[in-house]
Amino acid sequence: MSDDEADPELLALLRQSLGLGPGSSTACPSTGVLKSAEYICDNAIDVAISPGGTKAAAETIWRHMQQKHYSTETWSSHKLHPQSKDEATVNFIFTMNLLNFSFWSELPLEERFAVEYRGRRWTGYWSLVAALQRALDEGYAITTPSFWQDLDLCPDGVLEHIFRSATAEPIPLLAQRIAILREAGDILHRQFDGRPANIIARANQSAAALVNLLVEHFPNFRDSTHFHGREVRLYKRAQILVADLWACFNGSSYGAFDDIRSLTMFADYRIPQMLQGLHCLLYSPRLESRIKRLHHLHPGEDMEIEIRGCSIWCVELLRLEIERRHPEAKGKVNAVLIDFFLYDTCKEMEARGEADGMLPHHRTRSIFY
């Protein structure tokens, strides 16, 4: 999308925050994700941002976030999330975000992978949270990194049992999930004394530094690829891990970060679907046709990267538009809360059967989101 289509004032503000304009401060560390998103968006062919759609959606989003008093507290209002504010919850969030990817299914709703817990079936992201909570109830130390390394206490069969499905469809990419746990347990043992809290301590209350530490030390968080000859970073699970800590601990303790605004939205497969449904993202006819026919987009192909990168840039424009129209929003809204709000809203719409009219989400099978 070229500059002249978007609001020049907004773009100038956003580029300034990127350290691309005059007087921008580049003091705090950066993850490079926003710069990547800008590059992807400026070179995208099959995805564009609608300035009019984004402006309209910004007002709607702000109004609903206000009505719901949407804040970091909302995170803990989800009763399946861990409630204790301690290191056990840090370990839960770390474990969850090692595995927080690719729950979508090709099967009809009643046949897709689901986890039975507390008397109901959970699907998608919530199936992961339910499986971890169920394992802890059953006495498995699934959120303790040393457990992942202990092949006697935790052979593959135990992990298969922990992630067992209530339907005939197993959890997608189970082998990859097991390998990620084994590798992460080994890295934590060798470099962080087996404690995710030690990674947080090393980041000195910088969200960007923590994202960079996760990517530097754990290969499974290296969510980057090449686009038009340049390396582009999306870092979805590393960023949402930090965001979950910030929200869960309400910006204090293990969630205290001076630069939480350096995090972008998390380029998964749900938020792009919402942004397209809100007419913020525009897809080319050939892309829309592939998505409508549920064709897989291959990891790293241009269309997939354009959806993810433009979604990141779009949420930044939404944030700026909200802050421009409502200066009081500056302390209350950031890319993280807009993202969380859009995800929760998408799931509420789905539960009410209101998502049927939306274009399906794109299908890419990946360990990165």
Ligand X SMILES: Nc1nc2c(c(CN[C@H]3C=C[C@H](O)[C@@H]3O)cn2[C@@H]2O[C@H](COP(=O)(O)O)[C@@H](O)[C@H]2O)c(=O)[nH]1
| Residues labelled catalytic | 268
Q: C-alpha 40: how far from its chain's center?
A: 18
**Do residues 268 and 38 make contact, with C-beta atoms less than 8 angstroms apart?**
no
Taking CB under 6 A as the criterion, the residue among 94, 227, 266, 283 binding ligand X is 266
**Do residues 146 and 153 make contact, with C-beta atoms less than 8 angstroms apart?**
no
Q: Which of residues 98-117 bind ligand X (CB under 6 A)?
A: 100-101, 103-104
Taking CB under 6 A as the criterion, the residue among 199, 333, 340, 362 binding ligand X is 340
Could you write out the three-class secondary structure of 213-255?
A: HHHHHCHHHCCEEEECCEEEECCHHHHHHHHHHHHHCCCCHHH
Q: Is 343 in the site for ligand X (CB under 6 A)?
A: yes
Q: Provide CB contacts within 8 A for 159, sequence distance 6+.
A: 174, 177, 178, 181
Q: How far apart are CA 155 and CA 215, in angstroms?
A: 27
Report the nearest approach of ligand X to the CB of residue 295 (Å).
Answer: 18
Which is nearest to 227 in space by CA: 339, 312, 334?
A: 312
Closer CB to ligand X, residue 74 or residue 167? 74
Q: Is 257 in the site for ligand X (CB under 6 A)?
A: no
Of 84-92, 130-138, 226-234, 265-273, the window that binds ligand X (rule: CB under 6 A) is 265-273
Taking CB under 6 A as the criterion, the residue among 203, 271, 275, 333 binding ligand X is 271
Of 61-69, 150-158, 266-274, 321-329, the window that binds ligand X (rule: CB under 6 A) is 266-274
Closer CB to ligand X, residue 162 or residue 271? 271
Of 54-62, 88-96, 165-173, 261-269, the window that binds ligand X (rule: CB under 6 A) is 261-269
Contact mark string toward ligand X, 182..221, x via CB under 6 A? ----------------------------------------
The DSSP H or E segment spanning 282 is strand 281-283
Q: Is 94 in the site for ligand X (CB under 6 A)?
A: no
Which is nearest to 277 in space by CA: 36, 60, 27, 13?
A: 60
Q: Is 78 in the site for ligand X (CB under 6 A)?
A: yes
Q: How far apart are CA 264 and CA 308, in angstroms?
A: 11
Report the nearest approach of ligand X to the CB of residue 285 (Å).
Answer: 26
Alpha helices by DSSP H, listed for the chain, are 8-17, 33-42, 51-67, 73-77, 87-98, 124-137, 145-149, 156-162, 174-191, 196-202, 207-217, 236-248, 271-277, 285-292, 302-325, 335-351
Query: How many amino acids of this chain bind ligand X (CB under 6 A)?
Result: 21
Of 1-9, 32-40, 97-105, 207-215, the window that binds ligand X (rule: CB under 6 A) is 97-105
Q: Which of residues 301-330 bind ligand X (CB under 6 A)?
A: none
Q: Is 75 in the site for ligand X (CB under 6 A)?
A: yes
Report the nearest approach of ligand X to the CB of residue 364 (Å).
Answer: 10
Length of the chain: 369
**Two structure tokens written together for 146:** 């040393």
Report the nearest approach of ligand X to the CB of residue 21 (Å).
Answer: 27
Q: Are strands 224-227 and 120-122 parallel, antiparallel or unpaired?
A: unpaired
Q: Which amino acid is at 104?
A: W
Q: Is 369 in the site for ligand X (CB under 6 A)?
A: yes
Taking CB under 6 A as the criterion, the residue among 53, 124, 299, 360 binding ligand X is 124
Taking CB under 6 A as the criterion, the residue among 15, 18, 125, 187 binding ligand X is 125
Q: Which of residues 143-182 bind ligand X (CB under 6 A)?
A: none
Q: Which residues of this chain interact with ligand X, rule CB under 6 A?
A: 74-75, 78, 100-101, 103-104, 124-125, 244, 265-266, 268-271, 339-340, 343-344, 369
